[in-house]
């Protein structure tokens, strides 16, 4: 794919890289569109089972939405810019493959929000995360005010969003913003190892599990439990269910079809 988003395939693993290192991978409207297209493409690709999202270079995952672009936008244009981020977040949530953020450096503003829209976050020791928007006179606009409190609780979200302070990787791990912190030179390998564990499992089950986890974000408990029960019925009718249980009884590895 041309432009600012690089996509590489390693068997069933897609590695998507925001590639604008001169601007610390800041998200302009072109990148927002390219990322949405890439995720939608990968969601529909039958030969893809997991996605890693990272930033080019050794300084930044994504250092935010592009301030130089936003500086010239009217209120209505700011709203459209936010809508582009919203569409990307929706594409990531509805993508039926898990997305792992490999946070290799600054994940600020829109970068932190991009990581929040992933299913799992792994950080390099060098990562710094934050929502510094109030320092430039705006608020988070790509879902941060909604996803951050759901992930780390209202108190930490309020502190991060009101102060704009950056937190280091260890603090991010302690508050649950990232799952774990790894040495910088191990980040991609650790993200791949995690992805490969997922790739060994039933693609049909993983897709339905992701739909249920999304329901847990969006729905009240009773509706979410109904959703899970219905999804359990669907997964129960798959070839993968039949194969997984047969393989267990026959003491062999299952051969998934994803159907
Ligand atoms: N939008 C546009 N450009 C950005 C950017 C952003 N969010 N973040 C960094 N850049 C650009 C810088 O303008 C600079 O470009 P230049 O060389 O043409 O001047 C380049 O990336 C390198 O950044 P620089 O600020 O020189 O690096 P630094 O090491 O001194 O500081 C940061 C790094 C991340 C602390 C600093 O770039 C920063 O605060 N960025 C903005 C973070 C932010 O507020 N994000 C939320 C936006 S909603």
Q: What is the DSSP letter of 1?
A: -
Structure tokens at 142: 């790509």
Tell me which residues are annotated as active site. Answer: 113, 133
Portion of the chain with pLDDT greater than 90, in percent: 99
127 three-state secondary structure:
coil
* Domains identified in the chain and CATH numbers: 5-199 (3.90.226.10), 203-249 (1.10.12)
Q: Find residue 10's DSSP bridge partners.
A: 13
Which atom of ligand 1 is closest in space to residue 108's alpha carbon?
Answer: 45
pLDDT in tens, 136-188: 999 999 999 999 999 999 999 999 999 999 999 999 999 999 999 999 999 99
Write the residue with the smallest CA distance to atom 7 of ligand 1: 64
Q: What is the mean pLDDT of residues 11-24?
A: 98
DSSP 165-225: --EEHHHHHHTTSSSEEE-GGGHHHHHHHHHHHHHTS-HHHHHHHHHHHHHHHHS-HHHHH
Q: Which of 26, 61, 63, 78 to mutate to test the pocket of ligand 1 (most atoms within 8 A of CB)?
A: 63
Q: Are 94 and 39 in contact (CB under 8 A)?
A: no
Residue 2: which pLDDT band, with cuts at 50, 70 and 90?
Answer: low
Write the residue with the smallest CA distance to atom 38 of ligand 1: 63
Q: Which of 23, 65, 133 to mutate to test the pocket of ligand 1 (most atoms within 8 A of CB)?
A: 23
pLDDT in tens, 191-244: 999 999 999 999 999 999 999 999 999 999 999 999 999 999 999 999 999 999
Q: Which of 25, 67, 107, 137 to mutate to test the pocket of ligand 1 (most atoms within 8 A of CB)?
A: 67
pLDDT in tens, 4-17: 999 999 999 999 99
- Report how far ligand 1's centroid is from the alpha carbon of 258 (Å): 43
Q: Rounded to the nearest 5°, which phi and psi values hold at 149?
A: -65, -30
User: Which protein residues touch ligand 1 with a CB less than 6 Å away?
Assistant: 23-24, 26, 63-68, 106, 108-110, 132-133, 136
Instruction: Look at residue 250 and tell me whether its pLDDT is greater than 90.
Output: yes
Cα–Cα distance for residue pair 255/61, rounded to 1 Å: 36
- Report how far ligand 1's centroid is from the alpha carbon of 24 (Å): 6
Write the residue with the smallest CA distance to atom 43 of ligand 1: 64
Structure tokens at 69: 């672009």
120-124 and 60-62 strand pairing: unpaired
Q: Rounded to the nearest 5°, which phi and psi values hold at 127?
A: -65, 145
Q: Are 143 and 83 in contact (CB under 8 A)?
A: no
167-168 and 13-18 strand pairing: unpaired
Q: What is the mean pLDDT of residues 34-58?
A: 97
Residue 89: which pLDDT band, with cuts at 50, 70 and 90?
Answer: very high
């Amino acid at each position: 794919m041309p432009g600012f988003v690089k996509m590489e395939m390693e068997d069933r693993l897609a590695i998507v890289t925001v590639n604008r290192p001169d601007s610390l991978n800041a998200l302009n409207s072109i990148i927002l569109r390219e990322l949405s297209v890439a995720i939608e493409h990968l969601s529909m690709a039958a030969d893809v089972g997991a996605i890693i999202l990272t930033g080019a270079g050794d300084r930044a995952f994504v250092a935010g939405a592009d301030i130089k672009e936003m500086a010239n936008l009217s209120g209505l244009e700011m709203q459209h810019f936010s809508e582009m981020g919203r569409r990307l977040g929706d594409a990531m949530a509805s993508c039926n493959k898990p997305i792992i953020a490999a946070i290799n450096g600054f994940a600020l503003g829109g970068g932190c929000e991009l990581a929040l829209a992933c299913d799992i976050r792994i950080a390099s020791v060098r990562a710094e995360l934050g929502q510094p928007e109030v320092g430039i006179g705006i608020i988070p606009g790509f879902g941060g005010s909604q996803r951050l409190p759901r992930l780390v609780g209202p108190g930490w979200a309020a502190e991060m969003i009101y102060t704009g302070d950056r937190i280091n990787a260890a603090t991010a791990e302690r508050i649950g913003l990232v799952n774990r912190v790894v040495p910088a030179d191990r980040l991609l390998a650790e993200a791949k190892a995690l992805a490969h564990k997922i790739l060994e499992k039933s693609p049909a089950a993983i897709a339905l599990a992701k739909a249920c986890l999304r329901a847990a974000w969006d729905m009240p408990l009773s509706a979410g439990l109904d959703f899970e029960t219905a999804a359990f019925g669907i997964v129960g009718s798959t070839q993968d269910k039949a194969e997984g249980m047969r393989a267990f009884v026959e003491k062999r590895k299952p051969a998934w079809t994803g159907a």
